[in-house]
């Protein structure tokens, strides 16, 4: 299995602080059945900005450590990029890591709202052949209030990532319910742990999948995991059209 959203580099953002803490996270990833992991440290976040070269250097060092310790895990470079109006130019001058050197990037919105220029950024990226993956939309207040806002971004050319811990209930019942609603409305397309540490922000990779299986969302599990693979191979996502009837009924109740 592939984890496409993780904070495993040390001393670059709010993830692990030391190399050994990073190794402990990666050992846990392997125990959870993860075979490939894309590192997505924060980039151009108000508090954190993991430098392009630092990401490359740490991934190389960690991969060597994994090999030496016989841990069967392959690492890839990436960033969780905070939305900003200079995003395309930053990519063009080599300051942002696409996910696993693919045509996908992981795009983080502010938690409280969706900026007015978001659609323009997504449209511009799409014209350049870049597909932005909206990180953890279930934790965005604007999307929680009006899920149709996420659908508009998808129709502009974005896709979206659901978080394992959200489905597992780690962030509370309301976010868990919204996460399942987004899955069932075909408004999320890929699956990541967003791991930061082993205590307050753990992987919960298996737990999130188990919750979907319990809710009889087996096709969704297959789709999410396949799309994770398609990032690594730089292939198009499997996309299901949002279910209009179910979506309208759900939104009319919100």
Sheet order of strands, 79-82 included: 41-43, 79-82, 104-108, 131-134, 159-163, 190-192
Structural domains in the chain, CATH included, are 2-253 (3.20.20.140)
Q: Is 101 left (phi over 0), alpha (psi -120 to 50) or beta?
A: left
| pLDDT at position 79 over 90 | yes
* pLDDT 10s digits, 197-227: 999 999 999 999 999 999 999 999 999 999 9
Tokens read off for 88: 């395309």
Give CA 12 to chain center in angstroms. 18
What Rg value do the Cα atoms of the chain yield, rounded?
17
Tokens read off for 234: 């730089």
Q: Are 161 and 191 in contact (CB under 8 A)?
A: yes
* pLDDT 10s digits, 151-174: 999 999 999 999 999 999 999 999
The span from the CA of 181 to the CA of 105, in Å, is: 24
Q: Where are the alpha helices (DSSP H) in 170-217?
A: 173-184, 205-214
pTM for the complete prediction?
0.93
The span from the CA of 208 to the CA of 215, in Å, is: 11
Q: What are the CA-CA distances from residue 21 to residues 66, 94, 199 (Å)? A: 13, 28, 12
Task: Please state the φ and ψ torsions of residue 238, each to the nearest 5 degrees.
Answer: -75, 120
| pLDDT at position 241 over 80 | no
Q: How much is the average pLDDT of 176-203?
A: 94
The reported pLDDT for the residue numbered 253 is: 43
* pLDDT 10s digits, 138-151: 999 999 999 999 99
């Amino acid at each position: 299995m592939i984890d496409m959203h993780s904070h495993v580099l040390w001393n670059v953002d709010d993830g692990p602080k030391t190399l050994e803490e990073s190794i402990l996270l990666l050992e846990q990833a392997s125990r959870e059945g993860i075979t490939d992991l894309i590192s997505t440290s924060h980039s151009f976040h108000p508090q954190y900005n993991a430098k392009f070269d630092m990401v490359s250097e740490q991934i190389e060092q960690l991969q060597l450590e994994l090999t030496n310790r016989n841990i069967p895990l392959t690492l890839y470079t990436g960033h969780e990029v905070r939305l900003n109006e200079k995003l395309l130019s930053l990519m063009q001058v080599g300051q942002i890591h696409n996910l696993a050197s693919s045509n996908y990037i992981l795009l983080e919105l502010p938690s409280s709202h969706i900026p007015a220029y978001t659609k323009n950024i997504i449209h511009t990226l799409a014209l350049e052949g870049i597909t932005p993956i909206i990180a953890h939309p279930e934790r965005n207040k604007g999307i929680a209030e009006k899920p149709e806002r996420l659908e508009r971004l998808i129709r502009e050319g974005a896709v979206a990532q659901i978080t394992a811990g959200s489905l597992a209930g780690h962030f509370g019942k309301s976010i868990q319910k919204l996460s399942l609603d987004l899955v069932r409305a075909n408004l999320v397309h890929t699956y990541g742990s967003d791991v930061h540490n082993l205590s307050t922000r753990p992987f919960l990779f298996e737990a999130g999948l188990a919750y979907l299986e319990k809710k009889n969302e087996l096709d969704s599990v297959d789709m999410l995991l396949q799309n994770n693979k398609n990032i690594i191979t730089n292939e198009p996502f499997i996309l299901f059209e949002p279910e209009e009837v179910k979506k309208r009924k759900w939104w009319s109740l919100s």
